[in-house]
Protein backbone atom coordinates (compact mmCIF):
# COMPACT_ATOMS: atom_id res chain seq x y z
CA UNK A 1 0.00 0.00 0.00
CA UNK A 2 1.42 3.34 -1.04
CA UNK A 3 0.96 6.15 1.48
CA UNK A 4 0.19 9.60 0.09
CA UNK A 5 0.62 12.66 2.30
CA UNK A 6 0.11 15.16 -0.50
CA UNK A 7 -1.41 18.38 0.80
CA UNK A 8 -0.22 17.87 4.38
CA UNK A 9 2.14 20.23 6.18
CA UNK A 10 4.22 18.35 8.75
CA UNK A 11 6.75 19.65 11.28
CA UNK A 12 9.61 17.29 12.20
CA UNK A 13 11.79 18.36 15.10
CA UNK A 14 15.36 17.12 15.04
CA UNK A 15 14.71 16.45 11.39
CA UNK A 16 18.25 16.85 10.05
CA UNK A 17 19.92 13.65 11.24
CA UNK A 18 19.37 10.24 12.75
CA UNK A 19 15.79 9.09 13.19
CA UNK A 20 14.55 12.56 12.23
CA UNK A 21 16.36 12.48 8.90
CA UNK A 22 14.83 9.12 8.07
CA UNK A 23 11.38 10.46 8.92
CA UNK A 24 11.89 13.66 6.94
CA UNK A 25 12.94 11.77 3.82
CA UNK A 26 10.01 9.34 4.09
CA UNK A 27 7.47 12.16 4.49
CA UNK A 28 8.91 14.08 1.54
CA UNK A 29 8.81 10.97 -0.63
CA UNK A 30 5.16 10.50 0.39
CA UNK A 31 4.32 13.97 -0.93
CA UNK A 32 4.14 16.00 2.29
CA UNK A 33 5.39 19.55 2.72
CA UNK A 34 7.88 19.27 5.58
CA UNK A 35 9.05 21.90 8.05
CA UNK A 36 12.48 20.53 8.96
CA UNK A 37 13.74 21.68 12.33
CA UNK A 38 17.43 21.51 13.21
CA UNK A 39 19.61 22.89 15.97
CA UNK A 40 23.18 23.01 14.61
CA UNK A 41 23.21 20.72 11.56
CA UNK A 42 22.20 23.18 8.84
CA UNK A 43 24.41 21.63 6.17
CA UNK A 44 23.02 18.15 6.82
CA UNK A 45 19.49 19.52 6.69
CA UNK A 46 20.15 21.21 3.38
CA UNK A 47 21.66 18.06 1.90
CA UNK A 48 18.75 15.98 3.14
CA UNK A 49 16.25 18.18 1.34
CA UNK A 50 18.10 18.34 -1.98
CA UNK A 51 15.60 17.72 -4.75
CA UNK A 52 12.71 18.69 -2.47
CA UNK A 53 13.39 22.43 -2.16
CA UNK A 54 9.80 23.34 -3.05
CA UNK A 55 8.38 20.85 -0.53
CA UNK A 56 10.63 21.63 2.42
CA UNK A 57 11.74 24.56 4.52
CA UNK A 58 14.42 24.65 7.23
CA UNK A 59 13.91 26.12 10.70
CA UNK A 60 16.68 26.54 13.27
CA UNK A 61 15.92 26.49 17.00
CA UNK A 62 17.64 25.42 20.20
CA UNK A 63 14.88 23.51 21.97
CA UNK A 64 16.69 23.75 25.29
CA UNK A 65 15.26 27.27 25.45
CA UNK A 66 11.52 27.74 25.89
CA UNK A 67 11.25 30.95 23.87
CA UNK A 68 13.14 29.44 20.95
CA UNK A 69 10.71 26.52 21.02
CA UNK A 70 7.72 28.86 20.99
CA UNK A 71 9.24 30.90 18.16
CA UNK A 72 9.82 27.75 16.12
CA UNK A 73 6.14 26.86 16.09
CA UNK A 74 5.10 30.42 15.28
CA UNK A 75 7.60 30.58 12.40
CA UNK A 76 6.22 27.36 10.91
CA UNK A 77 2.66 28.70 11.00
CA UNK A 78 3.79 32.05 9.59
CA UNK A 79 5.55 30.26 6.74
CA UNK A 80 2.86 27.75 5.77
CA UNK A 81 -0.34 29.14 7.27
CA UNK A 82 -1.30 25.78 8.72
CA UNK A 83 -0.01 22.56 10.23
CA UNK A 84 -1.59 19.12 9.83
CA UNK A 85 0.82 16.90 11.73
CA UNK A 86 3.63 17.40 14.20
CA UNK A 87 6.42 14.87 14.75
CA UNK A 88 8.27 15.56 18.00
CA UNK A 89 11.49 13.65 17.43
CA UNK A 90 14.25 15.93 18.79
CA UNK A 91 15.96 14.54 21.85
CA UNK A 92 19.21 14.26 23.79
CA UNK A 93 20.76 11.47 25.84
CA UNK A 94 23.34 12.68 28.34
CA UNK A 95 25.41 10.24 30.38
CA UNK A 96 25.43 11.48 33.96
CA UNK A 97 27.16 9.16 36.42
CA UNK A 98 25.61 8.65 39.84
CA UNK A 99 28.76 9.91 41.52
CA UNK A 100 28.83 13.13 39.52
CA UNK A 101 28.82 16.29 41.61
CA UNK A 102 25.24 17.24 42.40
CA UNK A 103 25.20 20.62 40.69
CA UNK A 104 26.60 19.07 37.49
CA UNK A 105 24.10 16.22 37.73
CA UNK A 106 21.26 18.74 38.02
CA UNK A 107 22.57 20.58 34.94
CA UNK A 108 22.43 17.33 32.96
CA UNK A 109 18.95 16.55 34.32
CA UNK A 110 17.55 19.98 33.50
CA UNK A 111 19.05 20.03 30.01
CA UNK A 112 17.60 16.60 29.24
CA UNK A 113 14.16 17.52 30.57
CA UNK A 114 14.13 20.85 28.74
CA UNK A 115 14.83 19.27 25.35
CA UNK A 116 13.09 15.92 25.67
CA UNK A 117 10.00 16.82 27.66
CA UNK A 118 9.42 20.55 28.07
CA UNK A 119 9.97 21.36 24.39
CA UNK A 120 7.78 18.43 23.39
CA UNK A 121 5.06 19.59 25.80
CA UNK A 122 5.23 23.18 24.58
CA UNK A 123 5.01 22.17 20.94
CA UNK A 124 2.12 19.82 21.70
CA UNK A 125 0.27 22.61 23.52
CA UNK A 126 0.69 24.97 20.60
CA UNK A 127 -0.21 22.29 18.08
CA UNK A 128 -3.41 21.45 19.93
CA UNK A 129 -4.40 25.11 20.02
CA UNK A 130 -3.72 25.38 16.29
CA UNK A 131 -5.56 22.15 15.47
CA UNK A 132 -8.60 23.48 17.33
CA UNK A 133 -8.86 26.28 14.77
CA UNK A 134 -9.03 23.84 11.85
CA UNK A 135 -10.37 20.33 11.32
CA UNK A 136 -8.07 18.67 13.82
CA UNK A 137 -4.59 17.24 13.39
CA UNK A 138 -2.13 14.58 14.48
CA UNK A 139 0.80 14.50 16.87
CA UNK A 140 3.42 11.75 16.70
CA UNK A 141 5.87 11.70 19.59
CA UNK A 142 9.09 9.71 19.53
CA UNK A 143 9.69 8.28 22.98
CA UNK A 144 11.85 5.25 23.86
CA UNK A 145 11.68 1.75 25.22
CA UNK A 146 13.45 3.29 28.23
CA UNK A 147 10.12 4.84 29.19
CA UNK A 148 8.85 1.35 30.00
CA UNK A 149 11.82 -0.84 30.89
CA UNK A 150 14.09 1.84 32.30
CA UNK A 151 17.70 2.53 31.38
CA UNK A 152 21.16 2.32 32.88
CA UNK A 153 21.99 4.25 36.03
CA UNK A 154 23.75 7.03 34.13
CA UNK A 155 20.72 7.66 31.89
CA UNK A 156 18.09 8.17 34.59
CA UNK A 157 17.08 11.56 33.21
CA UNK A 158 16.68 10.19 29.69
CA UNK A 159 14.37 7.39 30.81
CA UNK A 160 12.36 9.73 33.04
CA UNK A 161 11.93 12.30 30.27
CA UNK A 162 10.74 9.67 27.80
CA UNK A 163 8.29 8.30 30.36
CA UNK A 164 6.86 11.80 30.56
CA UNK A 165 6.46 11.89 26.78
CA UNK A 166 4.35 8.72 26.92
CA UNK A 167 2.04 10.17 29.58
CA UNK A 168 1.80 13.44 27.66
CA UNK A 169 0.81 11.62 24.46
CA UNK A 170 -1.86 9.54 26.14
CA UNK A 171 -3.28 12.58 27.91
CA UNK A 172 -3.60 14.50 24.64
CA UNK A 173 -5.30 11.53 22.97
CA UNK A 174 -7.84 11.25 25.81
CA UNK A 175 -8.47 14.97 26.19
CA UNK A 176 -8.82 16.06 22.57
CA UNK A 177 -10.05 13.08 20.59
CA UNK A 178 -13.57 14.53 20.31
CA UNK A 179 -11.97 17.54 18.60
CA UNK A 180 -10.45 15.29 15.95
CA UNK A 181 -6.97 15.62 17.43
CA UNK A 182 -5.03 12.35 17.56
CA UNK A 183 -1.76 11.57 19.33
CA UNK A 184 0.54 8.59 18.94
CA UNK A 185 3.75 7.44 20.56
CA UNK A 186 6.57 5.48 18.93
CA UNK A 187 9.05 3.85 21.30
CA UNK A 188 12.31 2.81 19.59
CA UNK A 189 15.05 0.76 21.16
CA UNK A 190 18.64 1.04 19.97
CA UNK A 191 18.66 2.77 16.58
CA UNK A 192 21.89 3.25 14.66
CA UNK A 193 22.27 7.02 15.04
CA UNK A 194 24.95 9.40 16.27
CA UNK A 195 23.20 9.62 19.64
CA UNK A 196 23.08 5.85 20.05
CA UNK A 197 26.70 5.62 18.93
CA UNK A 198 27.74 7.61 21.98
CA UNK A 199 26.11 4.92 24.13
CA UNK A 200 27.67 2.09 22.13
CA UNK A 201 31.09 3.74 22.31
CA UNK A 202 30.65 3.62 26.07
CA UNK A 203 29.22 0.11 26.41
CA UNK A 204 30.19 -1.56 23.13
CA UNK A 205 28.06 -2.50 20.11
CA UNK A 206 27.80 -6.10 21.33
CA UNK A 207 25.88 -4.76 24.33
CA UNK A 208 23.22 -3.44 21.97
CA UNK A 209 23.19 -6.49 19.68
CA UNK A 210 22.92 -8.93 22.57
CA UNK A 211 19.90 -7.00 23.84
CA UNK A 212 17.72 -7.54 20.75
CA UNK A 213 16.08 -10.54 19.08
CA UNK A 214 17.19 -9.76 15.52
CA UNK A 215 20.61 -9.87 13.93
CA UNK A 216 20.84 -6.20 12.95
CA UNK A 217 20.38 -2.99 14.85
CA UNK A 218 17.32 -0.95 13.95
CA UNK A 219 17.98 1.81 11.40
CA UNK A 220 16.14 5.14 11.04
CA UNK A 221 14.51 3.82 7.86
CA UNK A 222 12.88 1.09 9.95
CA UNK A 223 10.87 3.66 11.93
CA UNK A 224 10.02 6.13 9.17
CA UNK A 225 7.26 4.13 7.41
CA UNK A 226 5.30 3.85 10.65
CA UNK A 227 5.40 7.62 11.07
CA UNK A 228 4.09 8.10 7.53
CA UNK A 229 1.33 5.55 8.19
CA UNK A 230 0.20 7.31 11.37
CA UNK A 231 0.31 10.70 9.64
CA UNK A 232 -1.88 9.39 6.82
CA UNK A 233 -4.98 9.01 8.98
CA UNK A 234 -5.27 5.30 8.28
CA UNK A 235 -4.67 4.45 11.95
CA UNK A 236 -6.61 7.18 13.74
CA UNK A 237 -8.42 4.69 15.98
CA UNK A 238 -5.05 3.77 17.43
CA UNK A 239 -4.84 7.24 19.01
CA UNK A 240 -3.10 7.12 22.38
CA UNK A 241 -1.19 3.95 21.52
CA UNK A 242 2.49 3.21 21.81
CA UNK A 243 4.13 1.33 18.95
CA UNK A 244 7.31 -0.49 19.94
CA UNK A 245 10.01 -0.62 17.25
CA UNK A 246 12.92 -2.18 19.07
CA UNK A 247 13.85 -5.41 17.25
CA UNK A 248 12.13 -7.53 19.89
CA UNK A 249 14.37 -6.40 22.72
CA UNK A 250 11.56 -6.85 25.23
CA UNK A 251 7.82 -7.38 25.48
CA UNK A 252 5.63 -5.38 27.84
What is the set of active-site residues? 158
What does the DSSP 8-state code read for residue 117? Answer: I
Distance CA 177, CA 10 (A): 19
> First CA to last CA across the chain, in angstroms?
29
The answer to whether 61 and 68 have CB atoms below 8 angstroms apart is: yes
Q: Cα–Cα distances in Å, from 85 out to 63, 121, 185, 193? A: 19, 15, 13, 24
C-alpha R_g of the chain:
17
Strands, E, within 16-99: which ranges?
33-38, 56-60, 85-88
Distance CA 229, CA 183 (A): 13
The answer to whether 167 and 148 have CB atoms below 8 angstroms apart is: no
SS3 assignment, position 7: coil
The answer to whether 217 and 171 have CB atoms below 8 angstroms apart is: no
Amino acid sequence: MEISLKGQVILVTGGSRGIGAGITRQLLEAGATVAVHYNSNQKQAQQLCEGYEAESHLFQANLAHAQATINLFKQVIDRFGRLDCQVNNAGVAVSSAEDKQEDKWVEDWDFTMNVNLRACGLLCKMAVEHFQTQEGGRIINISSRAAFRGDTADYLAYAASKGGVVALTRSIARAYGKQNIKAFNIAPGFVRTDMAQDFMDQYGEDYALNDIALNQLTEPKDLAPTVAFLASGLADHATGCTIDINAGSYVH
